């Protein structure tokens, strides 16, 4: 089993020393750098390049620079996707966004995690678990979403939250760790 296959299966895999994964990350980050250096007025090239970086998109997508991801091919966005400045998606596993998702500035989505055992960490091992964000979700600025989390449709995540567990649909959740504080009727 290759390291990439181990990653896709949610197993511990070598992210730091595997040549295939290193080369894929370098190629993606080169595209991200190119995207981040385009003028905001160059909409045609911005749209074309972001659709080259991201694995699957619908038609209407806007990601303000700067944007960084690890591989790109593990990201899927729905229609009317908007992310403000400084979006980071560590997409070692799938990251799927529904339709009408709005993301505030300085938000991060981390599918990668590391073993508690120092020896395994020092060997470059990590794991990856997918993140899913439903339709009509709004995430305030400086939100961090951790590996394996699902955020239900129509949820609102308050600014500065660290989402460590699933958030149900039709709810407002805030804090570190992020907790539901009210339901949306």
| Catalytic sites, residue numbers | 114
> CA 171, CA 130: separation in Å to the nearest integer?
21
Q: Under DSSP, is residue 69 helix (H, G, I), strand (E, B) or coil?
A: strand
Q: Which residues contact 140 (CB under 8 A, 6 or more apart)?
A: 104, 156, 157, 158, 159, 160, 161
Whose tokens are 């938000």? That residue is: 107
The answer to whether residues 113 and 147 touch, using CB atoms and an 8 Å cutoff, is yes
Q: How many other C-beta atoms lie within 10 A of the C-beta of residue 117?
A: 11
- Helix (H) / strand (E) element for 22: namely helix 19-36
């Amino acid at each position: 089993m290759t390291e990439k296959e181990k990653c896709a299966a949610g197993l511990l895999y070598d992210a730091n020393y595997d040549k295939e994964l290193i080369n894929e990350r370098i190629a993606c980050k080169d595209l991200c750098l190119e995207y981040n250096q385009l003028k905001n007025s160059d909409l045609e090239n911005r749209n074309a390049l972001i659709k080259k970086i991201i694995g699957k998109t619908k038609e209407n997508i806007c990601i303000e620079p700067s944007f960084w991801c690890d591989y790109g091919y593990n990201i899927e966005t729905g229609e009317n996707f908007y992310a403000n400045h400084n979006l980071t998606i560590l997409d070692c596993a799938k990251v799927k966004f529904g339709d009408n998702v709005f993301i505030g500035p300085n938000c991060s989505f981390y599918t990668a995690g590391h073993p508690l055992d120092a020896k395994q960490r020092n060997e470059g091992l990590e794991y990856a678990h997918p993140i899913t964000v439903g339709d009509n979700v709004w995430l305030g600025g400086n939100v961090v979403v951790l590996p394996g989390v699902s955020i239900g449709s129509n949820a609102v995540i308050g600014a500065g939250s660290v989402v460590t567990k699933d958030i149900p649909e039709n709810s407002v959740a805030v804090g570190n760790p992020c907790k539901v504080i009210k339901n949306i009727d």
